Structures are given as structure tokens and as C-alpha cells.
Structure 1
Amino acid sequence: MSRVSETLPSRRGPLVVAGGVFVAILLSSAANALIAVLAGALGAPDDFNPLKPSSYVFLTVLGVLAGSAGWALVRRLSRDPELVLRRLVPSVVVLSFVPDLFEFGEGKVTGVVALLVMHVAVAAVAVPTYRRVMPLS
């Protein structure tokens, strides 16, 4: 009895890619909403604007879109996209922390830590989505 292995095509249509990116935006925004609520419950100031949906949802959309563009470029231009992305993704996430670190101040530690966790959450949602809709091999 022979087994037929099911393989996904290495190239997806634009609607599949756009749909995947849209789902990543929705899931990342939902994760960030949960993080913002938890941060508020743990003492983040109510007037800490970066934890308002109007701030983090907009930046989440930008981050997921920029990440998908970067993923697509590396996928297209690199001889070893797996290796490049294995190094690039964590580096970009850490670099994305820099603007948030300028928010540190009295009473804002919980809010800033929540922002840093949001960056990681977006990457944790987006990267598997990119892998699915824009496979590397």
C-alpha cells in the first residue's frame, strides 16, 4: 500500500496571501487587546495612550503589513530565506522595542512591559501565518 504525501504548493495566490495577512492582523489585534486589558488590571495607568486601541491596533496593522512585505522580499531575494529569517525576525522584534523604552517613567513600567509583550505577540501570530501563506521552500 503506497502513501500519497500531501504537499502544499510553494506559491500561493494573492488572495490566499492577503487573507492570511488579514487573519494575522485580526488575531494579533485580539492578542494585543487582551494584553492591554491585563496591563490595565495589573496597574498600567488609564491615561497611557499606547495601550488604547486606537494606538495599538493601528501599529499592529502596520507591523503585520511591514512584516509580510519583508518576509516576501527575503523569500524572493535570498538564497537561504530560512536562515535569513531565523536571524532577522528576532532582531527586528528587539529593534521594535526601542521606541517603547523611551516611554519608561514613573508609574509606566507595567504599560511599557505590556507594549514589549505586544511586539512578541504580533510576531508569534504573524510568523506562523507567513510560513503558511508564503512558504519558504
Structure 2
Amino acid sequence: MNGPTTARPADSARRPGGLVVTGGLAAAAVVAVALNAAVAALAHAAGVSDDFEPLHLSDYALLTVVGVLAGAGGWALVRARSARPARVLRTWIPVILLVTFVPDILLGTSDEPGTSWGGVIALMVMHLIVAAVAIPAFRLLLPLPGQRP
């Protein structure tokens, strides 16, 4: 006996479910935190002061996770609302990444204890790492319409 069939959009078969997306985003955050830990360790080995708090695990780990989640939220929003999401993301991702450097540059000009331009450059590298890990994860977990698998 044949029962009723449910029609599905052509690309829904390749879209990961919510649990897979959640796990994938968590994995991306863990990888980004681990790579950022390596950057912090290298920065400290190169002479950045231990007093430079943004390079403490408790500071950058939380911000790395927030960055991955905020990026996923922005990606999902553009994906859902834009007629040309790939074009919008191609424009806005570099702009947003550059904007994230502004607080680092301002920190570099401050009198905060332990602050050095070496530490500030390490923070900027961390931003690039988060983007380099998160964007491929978003492409896999939150594919854009018309994107090949």
C-alpha cells in the first residue's frame, strides 16, 4: 500500500538538520579556540606580556565562541532574507572583519597594562583565524541557495 508522499525542496536533502548544525558550529568554535590558543602561546613566546589580558584564555575563548555564533546568525539572516546572499556575504564579510580590528587598534593606542603592538597584532590574527574556520563551516552547515554541495 502506498501512503501519501511529502514533497521536499530539491536542495533540502543536502541541508543538515539542527543537531548537525549545532554540533558543527560547536566544533568550529572548538577548533578556532584551539588555533587562537596557539596564537596566544606564540605571542607570549615572542615577548608579549602575560599582563596583556586579551591573550588570556578566559578572554579570547569566550569572544571566539561569540564570534562564531554571531557570524552564523548573520550568515543565516543573509541566507534567509537576501535575493543574492553570496554577493551580500562577499561584500560584507571583509567589511565586518575590518571593523573588528578597530577595537584592537584602539587598544594598541591605550595605556592598558601589558599592551603592545605585538599583542594587538596577535588579536587581529585571531580574528582572521575565526573567520578562516567559521566561513567554511557556515558554507557546509548553512549552504546558500544554489550552492553546490
Unpaired runs of 5+ residues, structure 1, are 1-6
**Which structure has the higher relative contact order (CA within 8 Å, separation 6+)?**
1
Residue 6 of structure 2 aligns with which residue? none
1:93 aligns with 2:93: no
Tell me how many residue pairs correspond in the alignment: 131
Residue 19 of structure 1 aligns with which residue? 23
- Is this contact kept in 2: 1:12–1:133, CA < 8 A? yes
Unpaired runs of 5+ residues, structure 2, are 1-10
TM-score, normalised with respect to structure 2: 0.83
- Is this contact kept in 2: 1:10–1:134, CA < 8 A? no
In terms of Rg, which structure is larger?
2
1:132 aligns with 2:143: no
TM-score, normalised with respect to structure 1: 0.90
1:19-59 CA distance string (max 9 Å, x none): 11101100000010000001011111110000000000010
User: Larger deviation: 89-98 or 105-114?
Assistant: 105-114
Distance in 2 (CA, whole Å) between partners of 1:9 and 1:66 is: 26
Q: Percent identity?
A: 48
Of 93, 105, 122, 2:130 maps to: 122
1:29 aligns with 2:33: yes
